[in-house]
Amino acid sequence: MTRVFVPRDSAALSVGADEVAIAIAAEAKKRGLKIDLVRTGSRGLLWLEPLIEVETPKGRIAYGPVQPEDVTSLFDANFLSGARHALSHGHPDDIPYLKRQERVTFARIGVIDPVSIADFTAHGGYEGLRKALEMKPLEIVTAITESGLRGRGGAGFPAGIKWKTVHDAEADQKYICCNADEGDSGTFADRMLMEGDPLTLVEGMTIAAIATGATQGYIYVRSEYPHAIATLKRAIANAVEANYLGNDIRGSGKSFWLTVRTGAGAYICGEETAMLESLEGKRGMVRPKPPIPALQGLFGKPTVINNVLTFGAAPQVLARGAQYYKDFGMGRSRGTQAFQLAGNIRHGGLVEKAFGITLRELIYDFGGGTQSGRPVRAVQVGGPLGSYLPEAQFDLPMDYETFAANAAMVGHGGIVVFDDTVDMAKQARFAMEFCAIESCGKCTPCRIGAIRGIEVIDRIIAGIERDKNLLLLDDLCQTMVDGSLCAMGGLTPMPVQSAVKHFPGDFDRPAKLEAAE
Amino acid sequence: MPKIKIDGSEIEVENGTTLLQACEIAGAEVPRFCYHERLSIAGNCRMCLVEVKGTPKPQASCAMSVNDLRPGPNGEPPEVFTRTPQVKKAREGVMEFLLINHPLDCPICDQGGECDLQDQAMAYGIDRNRFHENKRAVEDKYIGPLVKTSMNRCIQCTRCVRFTTEVGGVEDLGAIGRGEDMEITTYLERAMTSELQGNVIDLCPVGALTSKPYEFKARPWELRKTETIDVMDAVGSNIRVDARGREVMRILPRSNDDVNEEWITDKSRFVWDGLKSQRLDRPYIREMGKLRPATWNEAFARIAEQIKATAPDRIGVLMGDLNSVEEMYSLKTLATQLGIGNVDCRQDGSPLGEAGGRAGYIFNPGIAGIERADAILLIGTNPRMEAAVLNARIRKAWRNRAVPIGVIGEHADLTYRYSYLGAGPDTLVELVEGRGDFIEKLKNAKAPLIIVGAGAISRPDGKAVLANAAKLAQACGAIKDGWNGFAVLHTAAARVGGLDICALPAQGGRSTREILAGASSGDIDFVYLLGADEIDMASLGRAFVVYQGTHGDAGAHRADVILPGAAYTEKSGTFVNTEGRAQLAYRAAFPPGEAREDWAILRALSELLGKKLPWDSLDQLRAELYKVAPHLARINQLVPADAAGLQELADRAGAMASDAFHSPVRDFYLTNPITRASFTMAECSALRHRTRLQAAE
């Protein structure tokens, strides 16, 4: 029976993957052909979605983007045997976009049935956990430390140190919490992993649990990810059934239970302490740190909080060794990062690549320039609170330290591209507006600064007392940076100030008042 | 102990000290709005920013402990700066933000003159606004009859929310909306239900929450402040009474870690309007069934005539709940001189003071001792109603240390979780006999605490209940070296003082119950009520009644002669709280009209009776008083009682009736003549009653 792979990733679904799957099944039935239709994650080549694949003796052959009306012609061309077709891309791994990548965490995505334990283990899944179960907890922590793995949520805190803190803490209960509240605009890697290979996340969290002595884990997923939630729940149920989760995991005597919790739509709940509050059933408000969650986290107990991709990297570190992972990257940024190309870009999608790649390579070599065909003017890296970078900075290597030195941040690896029609003053205003809408309201600088920041930028846009208001904006941003309780308020000035700095022309407006007179 | 350098001077502080506290210790003032040392740390106002050497950004000093800082490379202590330009600029930035939205209505704001924001703006504010857009506008909220809101002024520090949740133990207040739309409110704008809600007024650093009854009444600088003692319950909360002229304008708490921390109940805070109405401001004499105003001389003559015509054993003397020790001692001395043995300071009819010595009637471990207790049993008491501030301490023990708490008595909401063991004496017997789960918890505890309430011992079988409670305390190891966990929780401010001076029936004399029974049956012809209003006046029968007190309450209505006395804010007097701590109250205002201080009234009366009390001044009176009860001279100190007496008490354990225990406080807001004269208290009571009806319907 021929296996046909149709993605069920949200990105693919949004361009008709379900309809394509139905059409393929119907067409096969009509023609009396027996096929095994497998729903997978997405390979991350979003402009080719729905990208379907067929398993042939020569390997997999990919076709895309496929629409339901293309299905008849695909069958006519005998795509089930991998025959040529206008939409054919040959072996997917040979598509340059994929071939140039270093898929470590995302190696199985788009390849396997996301919830199938058999598929998962057949492709090297649970190898990391198997090794972890043979190791002492401290050895696991050491391996993570040596791999140089840093938190992928944005802050880049060394995962090993965090795990070590929780490992060393004494408590009757410890928790593992996965921050899957992926709220940054232009990011989707967490979702893709959860929809396309959730067991990697489950495996990573299980490893963390064994390393630190935690017995309960929570995955905090934003409510906007219904498919990820469903897939995770299914995957967890299957893992429990196969005894990869639950009591006495694979006869090891270790126990770990995992629960999926759904957020309620607040961006701030992606901040780790607000996420803890939300998990505890409270209003999602930021907690002051210290105490750090590694010592007093969920319900006051030591808690490992990592991003989806941090946990997702752990199995490979264990399976292939710390050195393997460490060999990727540059400087103190080791391993691979899942860059997400979005915005005005021709070939948007997921690029997993070692740290050190430049923006230019990502935007042009992978992304193929803008969708509109116009020149790239600015790129926002690291989500809505990341800096806007001008062309002059496109050759900076992707590395936490290099970016920080240039008043920018790698963040969660989201890259949003703008062409030369963008109005950077409006983008700066958007940053303040985003903060005003999403601020939890707890601390003064963020609560008041964001809303007043909008007004000041409005005055600048209207050409009112430009110099005075730019100075005021600078003071306002400084108070937000200096005084904010969490990164939300502290980083909001980053896009604003980078826009002012790199695109000063956009803030030099003629006064509207005069024009009206 | 960690060392830290603050603005160049090195100090050593205790582990867990916050940077803010360390700065204060070093003498560096740090502005703050949200931080409060008795509440959890929120870290949201961002006013307390300081510079920590080695960190790029200013740090909120309230949210960081000295232990969070690392020493320098050569082990030198971490350095904190509070006066650098960076710190000043950061604080000025935060202040500017706060003032963007805060209205400029100080001239009509009740907080004016005692406003943290006003004060800090003097230090960190600038004299002009750089933001000219509209200020944020928020609708005012109804959160009850006591606290007025003016929500435009709110700076979202959440002290009020944290107080009600953490200390009050009710989740009444909370925030709705996010970001700039965040507002503080109660759910659906219902009234708060805490007995401690008034404290949010003090906690509010701005004028968002102010006192409703005090609204637009006075400015702080017009008020004469008197530090004194509260008498609304037996906690002896330390208060400050603010008066203008003859009028008490408001009551505020004072800090005393051993007694009330810095909280007071709503009754203590808002009862002051009761000091102005229903007052007895001149003597009265009943003639032809009607009271008529009289002169002091007429009133005294009438009393003297009656006393001289009555045999001493047919005279009874009862003392109420709000008396100071001085007047009780005066009356007791006078009674003794007149040969009257029927004297009782326990108008509720309890058997306290009859056995066991002082340890048998005080809250032995002390109120602060609750924080040492690691298992607590409440017998026949609802501390939330009887001593709400003390209840907050129990809640603190439960909240911070998960102390197991058991209750025998009413199944009420005490603001903490407890094991409900049973309703009455049967359960107490079970524990005494060593049965049930909870006895193990008490026995395993290092410092078990047995709190027995006034309601449990004022019953006819109170003697046995008290004895059984003492026996249980012994049995579970609550009485040992360094710890006496036997605690009587009084409800009357006067009671321990009365017991300390032995204002009890003399040998062969009658107790409260017996005096009342005697009056009913005609064996008692004359009853002197010193502020005693909580007795059944109907049982006074045909006796001639003298009422000396402050308000036209139950006693005055029954009286044949009324002598107008001074309320607790109008006299200097000693009050001994439930733990046996003697504290001095001071006069904040003068009594109304012809009313006089009570000891002076009794001194004058004694002269007329030919039994002149041997003192001419309060100082002389106290000198005599300290001879009979020397520990009363140790003002503000906790004088421990000899626990040996409890053996005698425990030995008296006998059979008890099986009726369930009831708290003597049926209505928190109406427990004494002053509260019953207070409009505010009446409103609170009606509201609570209505809420209860709605809930029941």
Q: Are residues A163 and A283 in the same domain?
A: yes
Q: Residue B44 is nearest to which of A268, A438, A443, comparing CB atoms?
A: A443
Greatest Cα-to-Cα distance within chain B, rounded to the nearest angstrom: 93
- Mean pLDDT of the A308-314 span: 97
CB contact under 8 A, A441 and B133: no
- B564: nearest Cα among B552, B573, B572: B552
Q: Are residues A68 and A13 in the same domain?
A: yes
Residues forming a β-bridge with B405: B376
Distances (CA, A) of A280 to A287, B38, B57, B90, B168: 13, 23, 30, 33, 21
Q: Are residues A165 and A213 in the same domain?
A: yes
**Structural domain includes residue A111:** no
pLDDT at A1: 84
Question: What is the β-pairing status of strands A216-221 and A175-180?
Answer: parallel
Over the stretch B151-193, which tens digit does the pLDDT of each residue have? 999 999 999 999 999 999 999 999 999 999 999 999 999 999 9
**Structural domain includes residue A165:** yes
pLDDT at A392 over 90: yes
Residues forming a β-bridge with B99: none
What CA–CA distance (Å, rounded) separates A262 from B311? 83
pLDDT at B696: 60
Residue B402 backbone zone (phi > 0: left; psi -120 to 50: alpha; other: beta)? left
pLDDT at B410 over 60: yes
Q: What is the CATH number of the domain that holds A336?
A: 3.10.20.600
Mean per-residue pLDDT over chain B, rounded: 95
- A392: nearest Cα among A360, A414, A365: A360
pLDDT at A514 over 70: no
Over the stretch A186-229, which tens digit does the pLDDT of each residue have? 999 999 999 999 999 999 999 999 999 999 999 999 999 999 99
Domain stops at, among A419, A443, A462: A419
Is residue A452 within 8 angstroms of chain B, CB to CB?
yes
**Confidence bin at B691 (pLDDT 50/70/90):** low
Over the stretch B55-71, which tens digit does the pLDDT of each residue have? 989 999 999 999 999 88
Q: Which helix (H) or strand (E) holds B422?
A: strand B419-422
Q: What is the CATH number of the domain that holds A222?
A: 3.40.50.11540
- Tokens read off for B436: 């049930």
Q: Are residues A121 and A84 in the same domain?
A: no
Q: What is the CATH number of the domain that holds A79?
A: 3.40.30.10
Over the stretch A84-108, which tens digit does the pLDDT of each residue have? 999 999 999 999 999 999 999 999 9
- Mean pLDDT of the B137-146 span: 95
Terminal Cα-to-Cα distance of chain B (whole angstroms): 59
What letter does residue B579 receive in the DSSP assignment?
Answer: T
ipTM of the complex: 0.92
**Confidence bin at B105 (pLDDT 50/70/90):** very high
Please work out, in degrees rounded to the nearest 5, the angle formed at the alpha carbon of residue A502 by the alpha carbons of A501 and A506: 90
Mean per-residue pLDDT over chain A, rounded: 95
Distance from CA of A362 to the nearest CA of B (A): 32
Question: What part of B 485-544 touches A (C-beta under 8 Å)?
Answer: none
**Structural domain includes residue A333:** yes
Q: Which residues contact B354 (CB under 8 A, 6 or more apart)?
A: B463, B504
What CA–CA distance (Å, rounded) separates B641 from B255? 25
Domain stops at, among A392, A419, A446: A419
**Structural domain includes residue A108:** no
Distances (CA, A) of B36 to A275, B32, B112, B204, B366: 25, 8, 20, 10, 25
Q: Which residues contact B133 (CB under 8 A, 6 or more apart)?
A: A452, A455
Over the stretch B217-249, which tens digit does the pLDDT of each residue have? 999 999 999 999 999 999 999 999 999 999 999
pLDDT at B135 over 80: yes
pLDDT at B632: 97
Q: Residue A440 is nearest to which of B57, B155, B178, comparing CB atoms?
A: B178
**Structural domain includes residue A112:** no
What CA–CA distance (Å, rounded) separates B673 from B681? 11
CB contact under 8 A, B46 and A445: yes
Over the stretch B573-618, which tens digit does the pLDDT of each residue have? 999 999 999 999 999 999 999 999 999 999 999 999 999 999 999 9
Distance from CA of B6 to the nearest CA of A (A): 20
**Confidence bin at B110 (pLDDT 50/70/90):** very high
pLDDT at B84 over 70: yes
Find, in chain B, the residue whose alpha carbon is nearest to that of A457.
B131
Burial of B619 (0-12, 13-18, 19+ CB in 10 A): exposed
* Residue ranges in B404-525 assigned as alpha helix (H): 425-432, 438-444, 454-457, 462-475, 495-500, 512-521
Q: Are residues A167 and A298 in the same domain?
A: yes
Q: Are residues A404 and A437 in the same domain?
A: no
Please work out, in degrees rounded to the nearest 5, the angle formed at the alpha carbon of residue A64 by the alpha carbons of A58 and A70: 105
* Residue ranges in B492-644 assigned as alpha helix (H): 495-500, 512-521, 554-558, 598-608, 618-628
**Confidence bin at B693 (pLDDT 50/70/90):** low
Contact list, A453 vs chain B (CB under 8 Å): none
CB contact under 8 A, A483 and B94: yes
CB contact under 8 A, A441 and B180: yes
pLDDT at B142: 96
Q: Are residues A154 and A275 in the same domain?
A: yes
Contact list, B57 vs chain A (CB under 8 Å): 481-482, 490
**Structural domain includes residue A232:** yes
Distance from CA of B89 to the nearest CA of A (A): 8
- Mutation pick from B44, B64, B94, B120 vs chain A, by most beta carbons of A within 10 Å, is B44
Q: What is the CATH number of the domain that holds A454?
A: 1.20.1440.230
Domain count, chain A: 4
Judge whether A407 and A499 are in contact, CB under 8 Å. no
pLDDT at A515 over 70: no
Over the stretch B244-295, which tens digit does the pLDDT of each residue have? 999 999 999 999 999 999 999 999 999 999 999 999 999 999 999 999 999 9
Structural domain boundaries, residue A11: 2-99
Q: Are residues A247 and A368 in the same domain?
A: no
**Structural domain includes residue A267:** yes
Q: Are residues A264 and A398 in the same domain?
A: no
pLDDT at A513 over 70: no
**Structural domain includes residue A464:** yes
Domain stops at, among A419, A447, A472: A419
Q: Are residues A43 and A91 in the same domain?
A: yes
Residue by residue, DSSP assigns B282-347 as S-EEEETTEEEE--HHHHHHHHHHHHHTS-GGGEEEEE-SS--HHHHHHHHHHHHHHT---EES-T
Judge whether B562 and B528 are in contact, CB under 8 Å. no
Over the stretch B497-539, which tens digit does the pLDDT of each residue have? 999 999 999 999 999 999 999 999 999 999 999 999 999 999 9
Is residue A36 within 8 angstroms of chain B, CB to CB?
no
Q: Which residues contact B694 (CB under 8 A, 6 or more apart)?
A: none
Q: Are residues A496 and A366 in the same domain?
A: no
Length of chain B: 697
Contact list, B49 vs chain A (CB under 8 Å): 482-483
CB contact under 8 A, A482 and B68: no
Over the stretch A231-278, which tens digit does the pLDDT of each residue have? 999 999 999 999 999 999 999 999 999 999 999 989 999 999 999 999
Residue A402 CA to chain centroid, in angstroms? 21
Contact list, B177 vs chain A (CB under 8 Å): 441
- B332: nearest Cα among B101, B115, B7, B628: B628
Q: Are residues A265 and A195 in the same domain?
A: yes
CB contact under 8 A, A288 and B178: no
Give the 3-state secondary structure of residue B544.
Answer: strand
What CA–CA distance (Å, rounded) separates B341 from B316? 8
Is residue B161 within 8 angstroms of chain A, CB to CB?
no
